[in-house]
Amino acid sequence: FVIYQDSSVIVLNKPPGLATQGGSGITSHIDGMLDSLTQGKKQRPRLVHRLDRDTSGVLVIARTVPAAAALAESLRHRDASKIYWALTKGAPEKKRGTIKLALAKRGGRGEERMTGVERDAENAKHAITDYAVLDHAGAEFAWVAAKPVTGRTHQIRVHLASLGTPIIGDYKYGALAARPKGAIEDKLHLHARSIDIAHPDGGRLRVTAPLPKHMLKTWKLLGFDPDAKSDPFARVRK
For the stretch 105-162, pLDDT in tens is: 987 666 679 999 999 998 999 999 999 999 999 999 999 999 999 999 999 999 999 9
For residue 50, pLDDT over 90 is answered with yes
For residue 35, pLDDT over 60 is answered with yes
The per-residue pLDDT of the chain, averaged, comes to 93
Rounded average pLDDT over 22-31:
77
The catalytically annotated residue of 6, 31, 35, 52 is 52
52 is catalytic: yes
Q: pTM score > 0.85 for this model?
A: yes
Residues of the chain with pLDDT > 90, as a percent, come to 82
Q: Please list, in sequence order, all residues whose beta carbon lies within 8 angstroms of the beta carbon of residue 59, skipping any fewer than 6 positions away.
A: 11, 12, 13, 14, 20, 30, 47, 49, 50, 51, 192
For residue 17, pLDDT over 70 is answered with yes
Q: Please list, in sequence order, all residues whose beta carbon lies within 8 angstroms of the beta carbon of residue 125, skipping any fewer than 6 positions away.
A: 102, 103, 104, 150, 152
Rounded average pLDDT over 31-47:
85
For residue 238, pLDDT over 50 is answered with no
- Of the two residues 159 and 27, the one the predictor is more confident about is 159
Strands 113-117 and 102-106: antiparallel
Residue 21 DSSP class = S
